[in-house]
Amino acid sequence: MLDELKRFDDAIESYNRAIEVHPDKAAPYISRSYAFIRKGEIKEALNDLDIAISLEPFRKEAYNNRADAYRRIGKYREAITDCQKALEIDPDFDLAYATLAETAAARNRDSEFYNFIKKAVKLGFPLHKYSFDDIYKKYKGQKRFQELIELSEKTNKRFV
Protein backbone atom coordinates (compact mmCIF):
# COMPACT_ATOMS: atom_id res chain seq x y z
CA MET A 1 0.00 0.00 0.00
CA LEU A 2 2.73 2.49 0.93
CA ASP A 3 4.55 1.56 -2.29
CA GLU A 4 1.46 2.45 -4.30
CA LEU A 5 1.30 5.83 -2.54
CA LYS A 6 4.96 6.36 -3.45
CA ARG A 7 5.85 6.56 0.23
CA PHE A 8 8.91 4.41 -0.34
CA ASP A 9 10.83 5.45 2.78
CA ASP A 10 7.82 4.61 4.96
CA ALA A 11 7.45 1.29 3.12
CA ILE A 12 11.12 0.48 3.68
CA GLU A 13 10.75 1.20 7.40
CA SER A 14 7.72 -1.07 7.55
CA TYR A 15 9.60 -3.86 5.79
CA ASN A 16 12.59 -3.33 8.10
CA ARG A 17 10.30 -4.10 11.05
CA ALA A 18 8.94 -7.18 9.27
CA ILE A 19 12.49 -8.40 8.64
CA GLU A 20 13.32 -7.93 12.32
CA VAL A 21 10.37 -10.17 13.22
CA HIS A 22 10.88 -12.70 10.39
CA PRO A 23 14.52 -12.58 9.26
CA ASP A 24 14.19 -16.10 7.84
CA LYS A 25 11.33 -15.27 5.45
CA ALA A 26 11.84 -14.07 1.89
CA ALA A 27 8.64 -12.03 1.57
CA PRO A 28 9.71 -8.87 3.45
CA TYR A 29 13.03 -8.80 1.58
CA ILE A 30 11.19 -9.11 -1.74
CA SER A 31 8.76 -6.36 -0.77
CA ARG A 32 11.51 -4.05 0.45
CA SER A 33 13.45 -4.65 -2.77
CA TYR A 34 10.54 -3.26 -4.77
CA ALA A 35 10.59 -0.05 -2.72
CA PHE A 36 14.35 0.20 -3.23
CA ILE A 37 13.92 -0.33 -6.98
CA ARG A 38 11.30 2.41 -7.18
CA LYS A 39 13.69 4.75 -5.30
CA GLY A 40 16.51 3.87 -7.69
CA GLU A 41 18.55 2.18 -4.97
CA ILE A 42 19.43 -0.83 -7.07
CA LYS A 43 22.40 -2.05 -5.04
CA GLU A 44 20.20 -2.32 -1.94
CA ALA A 45 17.45 -4.04 -3.94
CA LEU A 46 19.87 -6.60 -5.35
CA ASN A 47 21.21 -7.32 -1.88
CA ASP A 48 17.67 -7.95 -0.57
CA LEU A 49 16.85 -10.18 -3.51
CA ASP A 50 20.00 -12.24 -3.10
CA ILE A 51 19.01 -12.80 0.54
CA ALA A 52 15.42 -13.69 -0.43
CA ILE A 53 16.62 -16.21 -3.01
CA SER A 54 19.03 -17.77 -0.53
CA LEU A 55 16.18 -18.14 1.98
CA GLU A 56 13.52 -19.37 -0.44
CA PRO A 57 14.97 -20.28 -3.86
CA PHE A 58 11.56 -21.03 -5.37
CA ARG A 59 10.06 -17.56 -5.01
CA LYS A 60 9.33 -16.42 -8.56
CA GLU A 61 8.81 -12.84 -7.37
CA ALA A 62 12.40 -12.65 -6.11
CA TYR A 63 13.78 -13.63 -9.50
CA ASN A 64 11.45 -11.24 -11.30
CA ASN A 65 12.33 -8.30 -9.05
CA ARG A 66 16.02 -9.07 -9.46
CA ALA A 67 15.53 -9.18 -13.24
CA ASP A 68 13.86 -5.76 -13.07
CA ALA A 69 16.74 -4.39 -11.02
CA TYR A 70 19.29 -5.82 -13.46
CA ARG A 71 17.38 -4.32 -16.40
CA ARG A 72 17.48 -0.90 -14.81
CA ILE A 73 21.29 -0.98 -14.62
CA GLY A 74 21.78 -2.42 -18.11
CA LYS A 75 22.60 -5.99 -17.10
CA TYR A 76 20.26 -7.46 -19.69
CA ARG A 77 21.73 -10.95 -19.84
CA GLU A 78 21.26 -11.32 -16.08
CA ALA A 79 17.74 -9.92 -16.34
CA ILE A 80 16.78 -12.45 -19.01
CA THR A 81 18.31 -15.31 -17.01
CA ASP A 82 16.30 -14.36 -13.92
CA CYS A 83 13.08 -14.04 -15.93
CA GLN A 84 13.70 -17.50 -17.34
CA LYS A 85 14.21 -18.84 -13.81
CA ALA A 86 10.91 -17.25 -12.69
CA LEU A 87 9.18 -18.85 -15.69
CA GLU A 88 10.67 -22.25 -14.83
CA ILE A 89 8.95 -21.91 -11.46
CA ASP A 90 5.68 -20.66 -12.98
CA PRO A 91 5.33 -20.80 -16.79
CA ASP A 92 2.28 -18.50 -16.63
CA PHE A 93 3.87 -15.76 -14.52
CA ASP A 94 2.64 -12.58 -16.19
CA LEU A 95 5.13 -10.29 -14.45
CA ALA A 96 8.09 -12.25 -15.81
CA TYR A 97 6.79 -11.76 -19.35
CA ALA A 98 6.30 -8.06 -18.63
CA THR A 99 9.87 -7.82 -17.35
CA LEU A 100 11.11 -9.61 -20.47
CA ALA A 101 9.15 -7.06 -22.51
CA GLU A 102 10.71 -4.17 -20.60
CA THR A 103 14.15 -5.69 -21.09
CA ALA A 104 13.47 -6.00 -24.83
CA ALA A 105 12.32 -2.36 -24.89
CA ALA A 106 15.51 -1.27 -23.14
CA ARG A 107 17.47 -3.12 -25.83
CA ASN A 108 15.38 -1.48 -28.63
CA ARG A 109 13.94 -4.83 -29.69
CA ASP A 110 10.41 -3.71 -30.46
CA SER A 111 9.20 -6.97 -31.98
CA GLU A 112 10.30 -8.90 -28.87
CA PHE A 113 8.73 -6.21 -26.69
CA TYR A 114 5.34 -6.67 -28.33
CA ASN A 115 5.52 -10.46 -28.22
CA PHE A 116 6.31 -10.49 -24.50
CA ILE A 117 3.95 -7.70 -23.43
CA LYS A 118 1.07 -9.27 -25.35
CA LYS A 119 1.69 -12.58 -23.58
CA ALA A 120 1.88 -10.78 -20.23
CA VAL A 121 -1.43 -8.97 -20.80
CA LYS A 122 -3.16 -12.16 -21.92
CA LEU A 123 -1.98 -13.82 -18.69
CA GLY A 124 -3.41 -10.94 -16.63
CA PHE A 125 -0.67 -8.31 -16.39
CA PRO A 126 -2.41 -4.95 -15.75
CA LEU A 127 -0.47 -2.94 -18.34
CA HIS A 128 -2.83 0.02 -17.93
CA LYS A 129 -1.67 0.32 -14.30
CA TYR A 130 2.02 0.37 -15.23
CA SER A 131 2.00 2.14 -18.60
CA PHE A 132 3.15 5.39 -16.95
CA ASP A 133 6.63 3.92 -16.41
CA ASP A 134 9.34 5.53 -18.53
CA ILE A 135 10.18 2.25 -20.25
CA TYR A 136 6.81 2.41 -22.07
CA LYS A 137 7.15 6.05 -23.16
CA LYS A 138 8.23 5.33 -26.73
CA TYR A 139 5.24 3.01 -27.30
CA LYS A 140 2.46 5.27 -25.98
CA GLY A 141 1.52 6.77 -29.33
CA GLN A 142 1.46 3.44 -31.13
CA LYS A 143 -1.86 1.84 -31.99
CA ARG A 144 -0.64 -1.66 -31.00
CA PHE A 145 0.27 -0.42 -27.54
CA GLN A 146 -3.06 1.36 -27.07
CA GLU A 147 -4.87 -1.83 -28.07
CA LEU A 148 -2.94 -3.76 -25.42
CA ILE A 149 -3.83 -1.17 -22.78
CA GLU A 150 -7.51 -1.50 -23.74
CA LEU A 151 -7.26 -5.29 -23.56
CA SER A 152 -5.59 -4.96 -20.16
CA GLU A 153 -8.42 -2.73 -18.90
CA LYS A 154 -11.07 -5.17 -20.12
CA THR A 155 -9.46 -8.32 -18.76
CA ASN A 156 -8.25 -6.88 -15.47
CA LYS A 157 -11.08 -4.82 -13.99
CA ARG A 158 -9.69 -5.09 -10.45
CA PHE A 159 -6.89 -2.64 -11.35
CA VAL A 160 -9.00 0.04 -13.03
Which CATH number belongs to the domain containing residue 3 in this structure? 1.25.40.10
Q: What is the CA radius of gyration of the chain?
A: 16
Q: Looking at the structure, do residues 18 and 52 belong to the same domain, yes or no? A: yes
Asked whether residue 68 is domain-assigned, the answer is no
Q: What is the mean pLDDT of residues 3-10?
A: 68
* CA pair distance 6, 132, nearest whole angstrom: 14
Q: 54-84, pLDDT tens digit by residue?
A: 999 999 999 999 999 999 999 999 999 999 9
Q: Looking at the structure, do residues 51 and 86 belong to the same domain, yes or no? A: no
Per-residue confidence (pLDDT) for residue 6, from 0 to 100: 62
Q: Give residue 7's domain range.
A: 1-57
Kindly tell me if the per-residue pLDDT of 27 is higher than 60: yes
* CA pair distance 42, 48, nearest whole angstrom: 10
- Whole-model pTM: value is 0.90
Domains of the chain: total: 2
Asked whether residue 10 is domain-assigned, the answer is yes
Dihedral angle over CA of 12, 137, 98, 116, nearest 10: -170
Q: Could you please report the per-residue DSSP string of 37-56?
A: HHHT-HHHHHHHHHHHHHH-
* CA pair distance 100, 41, nearest whole angstrom: 21
Per-residue confidence (pLDDT) for residue 5, from 0 to 100: 44
Q: Looking at the structure, do residues 34 and 89 belong to the same domain, yes or no? A: no
Asked whether residue 28 is domain-assigned, the answer is yes
Q: Looking at the structure, do residues 127 and 92 belong to the same domain, yes or no? A: yes
* CA pair distance 112, 107, nearest whole angstrom: 10
Q: What is the mean pLDDT of residues 120-142?
A: 92
Asked whether residue 70 is domain-assigned, the answer is no
Under the banding of pLDDT at 50, 70 and 90, the label for residue 157 is low
What's the mean per-residue pLDDT of the chain?
A: 93
Q: Looking at the structure, do residues 38 and 104 belong to the same domain, yes or no? A: no
Asked whether residue 66 is domain-assigned, the answer is no
Asked whether residue 137 is domain-assigned, the answer is yes
Per-residue confidence (pLDDT) for residue 131, from 0 to 100: 85
The CATH code of the domain that includes 119 is 1.25.40
Q: 90-119, pLDDT tens digit by residue?
A: 999 999 999 999 999 999 999 999 999 999
